[in-house]
Amino acid sequence: MYTPRPQNPALAASLTLLAAALAAGTMLLAKALGTGVLGPELPALQVSFGRFLFALLTIGAFVAATRPTFTRPDLRLHTARSSLGWGGVTLMFAAAAFIPLSDATAISFLNPVFAMILAIPFLGEKVGPVRWSAAIIALTGAAVLTRPGGGAVEFGALLALGSAILLGTEVILIKRLSGREGPVQILLVNNTIGLCIAAFAASFVWIWPNPAQWAALAGIGVLMAGAQASFVNAMARADASFVAPFFYAVLVFSALYDWIVFAVWPDTVSLVGSAIILSGAGLLAWREARLKRAPKDPKLRP
């Protein structure tokens, strides 16, 4: 029987930030594949297939080396989670090819707000005024980065919004699974099911990748495997409503990668939006740490 991990909000926050850094790298590679930088443009369905294929190979190698103990998986819950994850990732990769990377990332990763809201009825979590305020601050920062009025509300933005809804719902299922099964088992089953779904979908649009594109697809899979491992471990150590907002840091990493790789320096709007998001995440972390220090104080409510 799987023993749940002890709660550790500080570690959960750190793991989520690591997941955000790795996930931003997948967006950068997906953008290159979807815009023809590395060769003929690859459809988002095929990019998603590469992500699941190489993520599964990475996780499979880890399982073969460590031989962890598995329990009986909840295949129904896993299938629902994997379907949502595949749909969200595919829409996210598609959006990156239509609108700027920072805008696609900002809109797509509104999913922590959906996750926090859904955690109330589905997980029974209590979200107090400070957490609500922190989430609103982070959402405001994301709204700034979408540059309202600048043409962001277009087809690519709608794809990103759809991704946010699907991935936000997936967070709830991850939290349910994390209390019943080990992180490695969750990742192995998720990527196995996800690969089956992705392979079927990609078969209808397949374009044979060149070596550079295969390398980028492999990079997406490996980075996503690391992001998943970090995020699932984070979810096992803190409430979903606490963990989810930290994933907004992916916006900061996306802007940083653009600067390093393509010499695209973030403009004032990007800097302001990122600062607002970090302020919201910092407020949430401060409140959680205070609650942990004085859990029995009735004046300190979540």
pLDDT tens for the chain, 302 residues long, are 555 667 788 888 899 999 999 988 998 999 889 888 889 999 999 999 999 999 899 889 989 998 888 888 889 999 999 999 999 999 989 988 877 777 777 777 667 677 777 777 777 777 788 878 878 887 787 777 666 665 544 577 778 878 888 988 888 888 788 778 888 888 899 999 999 999 999 999 999 999 999 999 999 988 988 887 888 788 788 877 677 778 778 878 887 887 787 777 777 877 787 778 777 777 766 666 565 555 545 454 44
Query: What is the reported pLDDT for 280?
Result: 76
| 94 in Cβ contact with 44 (< 8 Å) | yes
Domain ranges of the chain: 9-293
| 28 in Cβ contact with 101 (< 8 Å) | yes
What is the CA angle 226-145-34, rounded to 5?
55
Q: How far is CA 73 from CA 129, 177, 186, 238, in A?
A: 36, 9, 8, 22
Question: Would you call 167 exposed, middle or buried from its count of C-beta atoms within 10 A (0-12, 13-18, 19+)?
Answer: buried
Taking the C-alpha atoms of residue 293 and residue 291, their distance in angstroms, rounded to an integer, is 5
Query: What is the reported pLDDT for 3?
Result: 59
| CA-based end-to-end distance of the chain | 31
What amino acid occupies position 48? Answer: S
Query: What is the reported pLDDT for 251?
Result: 76
> What is the DSSP-derived secondary structure letter of residue 294?
S
Taking the C-alpha atoms of residue 248 and residue 168, their distance in angstroms, rounded to an integer, is 12
Where helices occur in 110-238 by DSSP H, the ranges are 111-123, 129-145, 155-178, 183-202, 211-235
Buried b (16+ CB within 10 A) or exposed e, 31-70: bbbbeeebeeebbbbbbbbbbbbbbbbbbeeeeeeeeeee
Nearest CA among 184, 220, 202 for reference residue 25: 220
Query: What is the reported pLDDT for 152?
Result: 42
> What is the DSSP-derived secondary structure letter of residue 238?
S
Question: Would you call 147 exposed, middle or buried from its count of C-beta atoms within 10 A (0-12, 13-18, 19+)?
Answer: middle
| Model-wide pTM > 0.85 | no
Query: What is the reported pLDDT for 153?
Result: 47
| 208 in Cβ contact with 153 (< 8 Å) | no
